[in-house]
Chain A
Amino acid sequence: AIQMTQSPSSLSASVGDRVTITCRASQGVRNDLGWYQQKPGKAPKLLIYAASSLQSGVPLRFSGSGSGTDFTLTISSLQPEDFATYYCLQDYNYPVTFGQGTKLEI
């Protein structure tokens, strides 16, 4: 199975900060990668698909980049509602695998 490793595991930031979360795959996954946001007690929400495509309705401050094994999720200017846990996911091959998550805290 492809392992997805996120860094950092947790991150403290302030409103207005620019934040970058990285996800590294144990082998190449082309651009078959998604990013999710999850708030406590809620279902995850898809932010980015195909590594860099913004899901409909997601604010433009979210962006994704990368291909192959190294990917990044960037939030250009943190808003209060962005404090949550973020996960990457690859579906290049099966089993589909998630990263372990990055908790973004104030």
Chain B
Amino acid sequence: EVQLVESGGGLVQPGGSLRLSCAASGFTLSDHYMHWVRQAPGKGLEWVGLTRNKAYSYTTEYAASVKGRFTISRDDVKNSLFLQMSSLKIEDTAVYYCTRDQGVVGVPGAWGQGTLVTVSS
């Protein structure tokens, strides 16, 4: 069974940094594209970025709103995905979801339960 469990959320001041982790199990992480998606309180879903699989050299893509501030990385040996967030803004406040591709196509298929990041002074 595919499982994704995020951790690392919390309260951080504007301009601060935070690192989210996602523990993956039930599949081989290196075979899959992995996305981060966020949802601000009461708002819709926003794609944050992705890391491609090993076959595509783990290359990354980011939303314009986070490019240059957020970095996605992965440790396939530890079956973990990471989101390093820096220069955080109030508008980065959201629940952050770790997702795995559907398997046949790249759209997010399996989702974690999410972790809340609150950026506030």
Which A residues fall within an 8 A CB radius of B?
A: 1, 32, 34, 36, 38, 43-46, 49-50, 53, 55, 87, 89, 91, 94-101
Contact = CB atoms under 8 A, between A and B. Distances in A.
Contacts of A1: 64
A91 B107 contact: yes
Given A1-B64, A43-B111, A44-B111, A96 B45 contact: no
B106 A46 contact: no
B105 A94 contact: no
Contacts of A43: 97, 111-114
Given A96-B47, A98-B46, A89 B107 contact: yes
Nearest to A87: B45
B108 interface: yes
Contacts of B45: 36, 38, 44, 87, 89, 98, 101
Interface string B37-60: 100000011110010000000000
A89 B104 contact: no
Contacts of A98: 44-47
Size class of B's contact patch?
A: 20 to 34
B37 to A, nearest CB: 8
Contacts of A99: 44
Contacts of A46: 102, 107-109
Nearest to B67: A95
A32 B50 contact: no
Contacts of A101: 44-45
Nearest to B6: A43
A100 B44 contact: yes
Interface in B91-121: 97, 102, 104-109, 111-114
